[in-house]
Amino acid sequence: MNEKKLPFDEKIIRDIAREYPTPFHIYDEKAIREAAKSFNAAFDWAPSGFRNHYAVKANPNPYLLKILSEEGMGTDCSSMAELILSDAAGIPGEQIFFSSNNTPLQEFLKAKELGAIINLDDITHLKYLEQIGLPETLSFRYNPGPLKEGNDIIGKPEEAKYGLTREQMIEAYTLAKKKGVKHFGIHTMVASNELNVDYFVETADMLLQLLADITEETGVNIDFINFGGGIGIPYRPEESPVDLKAVSKGIKKLYTQYVVTAALKPPALYFECGRVVTGPYGYLVTEAIHEKHIYRDYIGVNGSMADLMRPGLYGAYHHITVMGKENAEATEIYDVVGSLCENNDKFAINRKLPPIDRGDIVVFHDTGAHGRAMGFNYNGKLRPAELLLKEDGSVQEIRRRETLADYFATLDFPGLSQVN
């Protein structure tokens, strides 16, 4: 169980909305810092160090990256823009993990220039990368195929486009060593939004076993092991957060067995989680602008999939609080919708809620990761602002709302250049 709390009440959020019109996402700095601290603390036993590389795709805002960097996190990138954002946020190259796939050469080049750790998604990328010269450090992403069950969001590993097979992993380390690569890492990511502690411990078991096999079969010592992202969050009130201490305890036991007892060189431990770090500490704040009663009862808010895509894309649940009606009885059943000409532009379907009136502030929880980041401009909808609720209670706009001028910026057409 988790209580769906908010870091503001109706008066505070209405005051904020007077200065920054809805819809906007607002992020709770204090809670994000605390989440980062407790993630790090859970793994403080790791003898060669621990680092979470925050997945920039989860929330590509440099203000947040900077905060996370202050809390000891690096970044995980998979595009040119994410590399540039990490650099701008002051993340040192060696703390940037470049976990990309189907990667253009310019992106490898940028990663190499920054001194980022390059994690190759395929064995053929070794030759591809040779065009710009192999870096001293390389990591490879493992796809266990039928050996590991996936989960609903990420799918089955054997159907996923990512990573190398086991045989290719052995070949890749042998080849890379021959070509002069000096430091090695190993990576996998086989889950997304997973809440089951055992899943992560089993993944660690699989990867540590592979690490031991690679060392034995190729003579390569592996300096770091990256368990990927995918630690889930309790979107629904009846779900519980992942017990990171329990994940850590399970991994520690395996680490002792595979590394310490076998006297292998102790690798540093990495994750590249985004969702668990910022997800629960962001809120999409909207206003109810219409109600409609046909075959179902609808509440229309002034947001859409441009602001939060997950419900439309995956049927994902995002908890809703109607401000000022937190304790009112949920007597109504609504579809809460946006304004796209797409019938899946629904934030909630058949949701039990208190009666909602026009002008009510409707807040969607858990939008701090894979929220605004996934938004798109279909139907000419503009993406929302991002606000930071700072530790002292003040509010900083960390990204302004898009304007029509932004939307038309790529068009050189009479009559559109003056629009704002």
Ligand X SMILES: Cc1ncc(COP(=O)(O)O)c(C=O)c1O
Contact positions toward ligand X, by CB under 6 A? 55, 58, 76, 99, 189, 192-193, 228-231, 272-275, 369
* Comparison of 168 and 221: residue with beta carbon closer to ligand X: 168
In the three-class reduction of DSSP (H, G, I as helix; E, B as strand; rest coil), residue 189 is classed as coil
- Least Å distance between CB 80 and ligand X? 16
- Give least dist CB 100 to ligand X, A: 8
Report whether 348 contacts 336 (CB < 8 A).
yes
* Set 19, 294, 341, 343: catalytic member: 341
Report the residue number, 78 or 304, with the smaller CB distance to ligand X.
Answer: 78
In sequence order, the 6+-apart residues with CB closer than 8 A to the CB of 352 are 330, 332, 333
Q: Where are the beta strands (DSSP E) in 319-368?
A: 320-322, 332-337, 346-353, 361-364
Residue 275 is inside which H or E element, if any?
helix 275-278
Element (H, E) at 387: strand 385-389
In this structure, are residues 214 and 257 in contact, taking their beta carbons and an 8 Å threshold?
no
CB 327, min distance to ligand X, A:
32
| Separation of alpha carbons 40 and 50, rounded Å | 7
Question: Under 8 Å CB-to-CB from 97, ≥6 apart: which residues?
Answer: 53, 74, 75, 76, 77, 116, 117, 119, 139, 226, 270, 272
Least distance CB 398 / ligand X (angstroms):
19
Is the Cβ of residue 233 or residue 353 nearer to ligand X in the bound state? 233
* Cβ 134 vs Cβ 179: under 8 Å: yes
Q: Could you tell me the smallest distance in angstroms from the CB atom of residue 393 to ligand X?
A: 28
- Residue 341 falls in the annotated catalytic set: yes
Question: Residue 343 and residue 300: Cα distance in Å, rounded?
Answer: 13
* Nearest approach, Cβ of residue 45 and ligand X (Å): 22
58/320 with CB nearer ligand X: 58
**CB nearer ligand X, residue 11 or residue 161:** 161
Q: Which residue in the shown chain puts its C-beta closest to ligand X?
A: 229
Find out whether 202 and 151 touch, Cβ atoms under 8 Å: no
Among residues 275 and 383, whose Cβ is nearest to ligand X?
275
Q: Are 99 and 140 in contact (CB under 8 A)?
A: no
Q: Which residues are catalytic?
A: 341
